[in-house]
Amino acid sequence: MKKTLSTAIFTALSGIASAQLPALYNNGAILYVSKDTYVQVNGDFINREGSNLENGGILATNGNVINDVPMTQADAGELLLEGNTPAIIGGSPIFATNVTVNNPAGFTLNTPLRISGQMTFTAGVLTIPDSINAFIFESGASVNPSVSPSNLSHINGFISREGNGPFTYPSGNGAIYQPVGVNLTANSDGLVARYVAGNAGDGPFTTKGSSSTPLVARNMLEYWSLSPVGNATGTVTIYWDEDNNTGIANTADLAVAHLSGGNWLNEGANGTSGTTNTGFVVSNSISTWSPFTLGSTANSSPLPVRLIAFTARQTEGAVALKWRIADAKAFSHFEIERALNAKAFEKVGQVAYDGSMDFNFTDIKAMSSLATELYYRLKLVDSDGSFAYSGIESVSTQDAFDVVAYPNPVVETIYLKAPEWSKVSGVKLFNSQGQVLYSSGSNPPQHISAKALKTGFYFVRLTHADGTETTRKIAIEH
């Protein structure tokens, strides 16, 4: 016989906003959801102290869930966390067999939520800011393999896993999904994990890890905190991808890095799989726990060289480049490359690495190209000659102000035309090398004498209320 679900739907009273009155408010009664029954709560669900909740079916809510009643695993059915606006889950600890998160706006968990079955990440992030309210996977509980966690749906915060065997924590920071794995042979009271996009702490590389080969680098932009409630033993799997792990030249260089006692230890590479873009490395068996991240044992993969920011913007007669890195070891210099079409790049400058984090370079010859769009990238060069490229930044040398210089070619006088000349606050004349030959005062004229200029190419830049604009190439002929 085909199984069917009985359905009950609760909504807020007509004419009363759900923020004023919950859609389902249980104040001292017994709420029993029988097997194969689907209860849909279109709004907030509040279960007050003195009530009783026994869920043997499916309870779906698209609002806040406040449960003030102690629960047991025997009372737990399925919980569907749905909706389109941010919601919270609070009160006494909640038990469920299966949980599905399907709310793009996300939920904040302010009480422990324990499951014995599967967790399904359909849409939205479950945020857990406090370790005492961790999402708990009981022994045997898992993440639904058919609906994988993603950047758009994962747990941002504390996750506890009980029991032994392999498990991948569905962790991230609300913006990116960054899992971490374990394979435990002992786990007395649960192992709590949390992903952090940041530096776990500084310390020397030593030989005291499960592998005596010291690290030469480690990722300073992210780490995972793995903390047992009691005691735990097993391996750690660190994953890498293109979010925070550029600079990998050879996967054989990689290892699990472990901060312990103020030192960064090499916990080995007991198994490595993937490419330089995505993959994972497995540690040796360990029984001491603290922050972990990706490490490297060779300078060919200088993990700490991390480009945090790279910008390019137009300035007066030039392009100003700025960039910031997390750290660098065995690093040499930066080469600045420019292109007119985002493909044929040429070197236009070089900046040495001096141990700092912030760097800048001004391309004073940028405007001599007379292009309306310029493209820049950085070449990050290690001491051994290996290198990696940054992403590409573009700069427009024109804007919508639409300034015109005429006639072209010019013999005696350069005339300037622009809409709303009253907005113009400055006029400058540059030669093809980017040198300023003329700069007006606060009341700029609409013409410039060309009698003293040599035959060649020039351009004029106007500063106005909407920004700046550079004319196309101006030819001077005498």
Over the chain (478 residues), the average pLDDT of each successive run of 10 is 52 42 83 87 89 87 90 80 93 93 94 95 95 95 94 96 97 94 96 91 89 88 93 96 76 95 95 92 95 88 67 79 74 89 85 87 76 81 73 67 76 85 86 82 87 85 77 77
Phi first, then psi, for residue 421 (nearest 5°) are: -60, -20
What's the pLDDT at 10? 59
Helix (H, G, I), strand (E, B) or coil at 319: strand
CB count within 10 Å of CB 435 equals: 12
Residue 177 Rama label (left phi>0; alpha psi -120 to 50; beta): beta
3 state SS for 344-369: CCEEEEEEECCCCCEEEEEECCHHHH
DSSP 252: G
Please check whether residue 478 is in contact with residue 409, taking contact to mean a CB–CB distance below 8 angstroms. Answer: no
CA distance linking residue 389 with residue 5, whole number of Å = 57
CA distance linking residue 458 with residue 468, whole number of Å = 17
Question: In terms of residues, how long is the chain?
Answer: 478
Phi first, then psi, for residue 280 (nearest 5°) are: -150, 155
Q: Closest Cα partner for 246 from 386, 151, 358?
A: 386
**DSSP 3-state percent helix, strand, coil across the chain (nearest 5):** 5, 50, 45
What's the pLDDT at 339? 87
How big is the CA angle at 267 (ends 264 and 273), to the nearest 5 degrees? Answer: 120
What's the pLDDT at 78? 93
* Greatest C-alpha distance within the chain: 98
In single-letter form, the type of residue at position 10 comes to: F
Helix (H, G, I), strand (E, B) or coil at 99: strand
Please check whether residue 152 is in contact with residue 211, taking contact to mean a CB–CB distance below 8 angstroms. Answer: no
What's the pLDDT at 392? 77
Q: How far is CA 149 from CA 124, 130, 143, 162, 278, in A?
A: 10, 21, 8, 20, 16
Q: How far is CA 146 from CA 105, 270, 441, in A?
A: 22, 28, 68
What's the pLDDT at 344? 82
What's the pLDDT at 306? 62
In single-letter form, the type of residue at position 91 comes to: G
CA distance linking residue 212 with residue 355, whole number of Å = 28
Phi first, then psi, for residue 73 (nearest 5°) are: -60, -30
Q: Which two tokens stand for residue 160?
A: 């506890």
What's the pLDDT at 373? 76
DSSP 131: G
List of long-range contacts for 13-22, beta carbons under 8 Å, 24+ apart: 18/42, 18/43, 18/44, 18/63, 19/44, 22/46, 22/63, 22/64
Q: Closest Cα partner for 456 from 438, 439, 435, 431?
A: 431
Q: Closest Cα partner for 378 from 369, 370, 390?
A: 390
How big is the CA angle at 87 (ends 85 and 88), to the nearest 5 degrees? Answer: 175
Q: Closest Cα partner for 234 from 185, 196, 179?
A: 185
